[in-house]
Structure 1
Amino acid sequence: MLTDSQANVLRGLAGKRAAIVGMGVTNVPLIRFLASRGVQATACDKKQADSLAAEMDSLAGLDVQYLLGPGYLDSLPSFDVVYLSPGVNPGQPEIEAARAAGAAVSSEIDLVLRLSAAPVVGITGSSGKTTTTTLTGLMLREDARRFHPDRQVLVGGNIGAPLIERVLTVGADDLIVLELSSFQLKLLQISPHVAAVLNITPNHLDVHPSMDDYIWSKENIVRHQTEQDWAVFGADNEVAQTMVERAPGRTMLFSASHSVPCGAFLDGDRLVTRWSDRGEPGAGDTVVAHRSDIRIPGMHNVQNALAAIAVCSVVGAHPGAMRDAIAAFSGVEHRLEPAGEIDGVSYINDSIATTPSRAIAALEAMERPVVLIAGGYDKHLPFCEMAQLALGKVTAVALVGVTADKIERALVEAAQRAGVEPPQIIRAGAFREAVEAARGAARPGDVVLLSPACASYGLFRNFEERGRTFKQLV
């Protein structure tokens, strides 16, 4: 049975003319949902029908109109509401024209938040989102298995399947956990009940007009919270920590470098939660797990575990359930994922590293000499810090893609500043050549690390395809 709030949202949609821009993974379920609720749905996509056969087949039998190919956005001002796919730039002139004509601009995530009868946890950050969201879901599911056997815990957003077609099945005792990107957050005028900002480092500056716009979009996850809501911030990240004073509701911190007044932190090898208002150790401290319980390498994954602990503590999860979920968690595909060992050389798939900061985290986690595979699409991010770290860890770098020149220049300049020789630099014309070159440069005891520091566009459809190709080549 629908709640009054859900019924009001659905009544407001019925009969509206809605343009759904982008027929990707997120929006096809949204189109089905809207069409089934009496919305006059029009699917808009720059691709032609022959490239969208599978998507259109999944909408067969529904009353859906199509605007495809060149000029697919021209009619947007005639619609009541425009739903954007996360990858669509909301600043395009046609979308601005629709907004000026009175159209509401929304998204699948916005509608999920408005329709959910369950508390929603939202997690964002420049890196660590997927690992933290996945681990949070596992912790809450383990807690539900032990103490709330009838509770549903749904995980979605930027990972997994869209939740719009399941949101009306959850009740007040259930939980929804969402990974949220800057693109998904930018349009929101509603915030999750529990929101986490893990860290903020430069990313997506090929799409966001400025770093300030990127930060603003990330902070939108907490901007519309109430006084009773919770926000969790990474205290080890300067930008995330500055958001604390602007948060409308209650706040928690997490840190792998120092204790916090309220939140989760690393104390020696112990992962601890603290609820004391005065920040004093004692009765308010609970040891949830030990660092040895964490199976995935790197200090950044300690931070991810602490973030998940802080979030789940707010929701009320039992420490034992959190510990067991941490101990059972072997990581997420393409994130420091072992891909095999050949002739004494380990191969690690970290294809998720689409930014220099992610590659830095991967390099910091390595305890053996590294042969690095890097390069790809240019997101207009600096490589100087990554290059500086590489001097002490990387023996050779196989470069591929349009950023190869920029990365090589950063490595050479870092070596000149340090007065040392740069790593061996190998230029490859194709990804396969880069993997073969890395194998040739590696010696027994080394690690060949795919951590490209760049997006995959121009070489692959996405980082998942790049990672799976690497594993197949290995």
Structure 2
Amino acid sequence: MIIKILCVNHQYSKSLEFEENFRGYSKKYLSAGTNYYSFLRDLNELQIARLFSRLEKYHQIFKSCNVGSKKGGIWCGQCSKCLFAYLILYPFLGDKLKEIFGKDLLNDENLASIMEELLQLPGKFKPFECVGTKEEIEYAMLLGVLKTEGKNLPKLLEKYQSKITILILGIGREGKSALEFLKKNLPDLEIGTADQKISKNYLDKLEDCDVIIKSPGIPYLPEVKKAKENGKIISSSTQIFFDLCKGKIIGVTGTKGKSTTASLIFEVLKAAGFNVFLVGNIGQPALELLGKISENSWVVYELSSFQLTDLSRSPHIAVITNIYPEHLDWHDNFEDYKKAKENIFKYQTKDDFLIKDKDGVSAAKAVAQIFKIPEEIIEKAIKNFKPLPHRLEYIGEFKGIKFYNDSLSTIPQATIYALDKLGDDIQTLIAGGFDRGIDYEVLGPAIAKSGIKSLILFPETGEKIWQAVEKAGGQQEKFNVNSMEEAVKLAFEKTSKGKICLLSPAAASFNMFKDYADRGDQFKKFVLSY
């Protein structure tokens, strides 16, 4: 076929250029209401394999073998398309593929030369077939090795696992866990690491490896986006866990309340006798638990927007508490933040569940109903539940003043909730912190109409909060402070006996503290030592 003096073959019909041209043609000459597009355009081969692995009714009838199509529609088991299809599906279907393909292709050493072509080893070239990239193949191999825990590997995985190149991007809590997990299962493989604490040029290492395990705290910087555009596989500990977990997952997300909600669900299921694990920021790092999880296990996973951003699989039960503007220093905008959160249900099927409830207790009860847990067990578990640290945590009464630590409040809506919960007895509010571009206009009226008399404010957002209060007509007395010790001293001086002093910052902590826990711990320390 000749297109604009260029000779093209059937592959042209799969290109984005053809899609755009034909869409324009169909709208102009066929029907203005027609929208021609590829449903799979935004998905790579791994994502397609991940989704297809759940469509069991097609597993025995799908084919992608050019040689076999001429022999009655079979898998020939000897070509690059057969080996690629087997490889890319192996992490998700495992030994089921033997029945589909008629034999175990990964144990066929006669396919070694094709394997080398797929991996594009020195002197080898990618087969002239519709197969994936070497980066996708390396990642599929990685998942395949991890799936077997490095034991009794198929011959081709055993022979070529050393060709997988991996970089851990970010060596924080989750990055260290990923590194230990990979070293345990791939002891002979050299795994690269990159972190800004180690080198200011840490992003240069993105060029060295094909598979990049990105820690959630690192945003999609321009260098990371470029690496992805160039074909690098950007994955995460969360994605690996979802791909390898034998049990079923209950995912919990939301701007606020996800930790408490996840903990409540965990306690209810545990009380009902289920084999259940709690992972995420409040539980163990997920990868550390994989070896303990069986097909009968349930995992309650607290999921942040960072972890959800590049997740290509959704949990069996998805729970959303609420969504407000947050982490706008990490996400491009609020729409980008919401889009990340939506991944918790984006890949669900009709057999999965989605629960939306801003109240943690109600959400936990809704999950319990799916399991048909008796009401008395649910109520007892909820009654015995102890609030988590830094979440409206009652410290105690000192010099007649009641102190509450709500350091996890990092957005205005969380502080508004705390004000509503504790009521008019709040006389002193300590607020403010790191500025992430959040609008504080909604907080002003809540403070202005409350019984608060003294407002103790940290930089940087303290001034924004005060402007919102003034705009709402608030008559509170304002005090600017630069340390927690100074804030607590003022709180004791300005709060009457029988009243409440509440730390509920409505902002992140990073300008003055290590994190929200450090901020809350300092608050408790100075209250107790005053």
1:366 aligns with 2:422: yes
Letter in 1 for 2:327: H
Pick aligned residue for 2:368 from 283, 297, 312: 312
Q: Which residue among 188, 201, 207 is the counterpart of 2:330?
A: 207
Q: Mapping of 1:207-356 within 5 angstroms?
A: 207-234=330-357, 303-356=359-412
Rounded Cα–Cα distance in structure 1 between residues aligned with 2:91 and 2:267: 28
Q: Percent identity?
A: 33
Q: How far apart in 2 are the matches of 1:308 and 1:24?
A: 31
Offset at residue 191 of structure 1 (A)? 0.7
CA distance in structure 2 between the partners assigned to 1:378 and 1:5 by the alignment: 46
Q: Distance in 2 between matches of 1:329 and 1:76?
A: 45
Is residue 155–residue 177 contact of structure 1 (8 Å, CA) maintained in 2? yes
RMSD: 1.9
With over 3 angstroms needed to count, the CA separation of the structure-2 counterparts of 1:208 and 1:119, relative to structure 1, is same
Tell me by how many angstroms 1:409 deviates: 0.9
SS of alignment partner, residue 508 of structure 2: coil
Letter in 2 for 1:179: E
Higher helix share: 2
TM-score by length of structure 1 reads 0.76
* Aligned equivalent of 2:249: 120
Q: Is the 8 A contact 1:109 1:157 kept in 2?
A: no
Aligned to 1:44: 194
**2:469 equivalent among 411, 422, 441:** 411
Task: Work out which of the residue numbers 454, 457, 461 in structure 2 matches 1:396.
Answer: 454
Matched, 1:428 2:486: no
Structure 1 residue runs of 5 or longer lacking an equivalent are 49-68, 237-302, 416-420
1:100 pairs, out of 222, 229, 234, with 229
Gap regions ≥5 residues in structure 2: 1-89, 96-139, 147-160
Task: State which of 504, 507, 510 in structure 2 corresponds to 1:454.
Answer: 507
Verify the 8 A CA contact 2:278 2:300 in the aligned structure 1.
Answer: yes
**1:62 alignment partner in structure 2:** none
Cα displacement (A) at 1:6? 6.7
Looking at structure 1, the residues matched to 335 and 261 of structure 2 have their Cα atoms a distance apart, in angstroms, of 24
1:18 is aligned, of 166, 174, 180, to 166
For 2:422 and 2:284, locate their aligned partners in 1 and report how far apart those are by CA, in whole Å. 32
Equivalents in 2 of 1:6, 1:158: separation in Å?
Answer: 31
**How many correspondences in the alignment?**
374
* Pairing 1:137–2:273 present: no
2:179 alignment partner AA: I
Structure 1 SS opposite 2:286: coil
Query: What is the identity, as a one-letter code, of the residue corresponding to 1:404?
Result: G
Structure 1 residue 219, shift from structure 2 partner: 0.7
Residues 1:379 and 2:508 are matched in the alignment = no
Paired with 1:196 and 1:170, the residues of 2 have a C-alpha distance of 21
Question: Aligned equivalents of 1:347 and 1:76: distance in 2?
Answer: 48
Offset of 1:3 from its aligned partner? 9.6
Equivalent-residue separation in structure 2 for 1:369 and 1:121 (angstroms): 36
Letter in 2 for 1:317: I
Letter in 2 for 1:171: S
Deviation at 1:405, TM superposition (A): 1.3
Question: Residue 212 of structure 2 aligns to a residue in which SS?
Answer: strand
Q: Which deviates further from its counterpart, 103-112 or 399-408? A: 399-408
Structure with larger RCO (C-alpha < 8 A, sep 6+) = 1
Q: CA deviation at 1:168?
A: 2.9
CA distance in 2, matches of 1:21, 1:422: 49
One-letter amino acid matched to 2:143: L
Question: Which has the larger Rg?
Answer: 2
**Cα shift readout 1:75-102 (whole Å, capped 9, x = no counterpart):** 3133221111111012x12212221221
Whether the aligned pair in 2 keeps the contact of 1:77 and 1:99 (CA below 8 Å) is: no
Q: Which amino acid aligns with 2:248?
A: P
For residues 195-243 of structure 1, give each alpha carbon's deviation from its aligned partner in whole angstroms, at most 9, with x where no partner exists. 1111111111122111100100011110011221111113x6xxxxxxx
Task: Indicate if the aligned counterparts of 1:10 and 1:37 stay in contact, CA closer than 8 A.
Answer: no
Q: 1:283-318 deviations in whole A, cap 9, x for unaligned?
A: xxxxxxxxxxxxxxxxxxxx1100111123224433
TM-score (ref. length: structure 2):
0.68
Retained in 1: the 8 A contact 2:92–2:243? Answer: no
Kept after mapping to 2: 8 A contact 1:78/1:98: no
Q: Check whether the contact 1:20–1:82 (CA below 8 A) recurs between aligned residues.
A: yes
Distance 1:125 1:106 in 2: 22
Residues 145, 185 of structure 2: 8 Å contact kept: no
Is this contact kept in 1: 2:427–2:496, CA < 8 A? no
TM-superposed deviation, 1:340: 1.8
Instruction: Read off the aligned partner of 2:455 and give its amino acid letter.
Output: V
2:239 aligned with 1:72: no
Structure 1 position 12, deviation (Å): 5.9
| Range 325-334 or range 337-346, more displaced | 337-346
Which one-letter code corresponds to 1:44 in the other structure? A
Alpha-carbon distance between aligned partners in 2 of 1:335 and 1:27, rounded to the nearest angstrom: 26
Which piece of structure 1 moves more, 433-442 or 180-189?
Answer: 433-442
Secondary structure (helix, strand or coil) at the match of 1:377 reads: coil
- 1:403-455: CA deviation from partner (whole Å, max 9, x where unpaired): 1211111111111xxxxx52111111322111111221101121000001111
CA contact (8 A) 1:87 1:183 kept: yes
Q: Bigger shift: 363-372 or 186-195?
A: 363-372
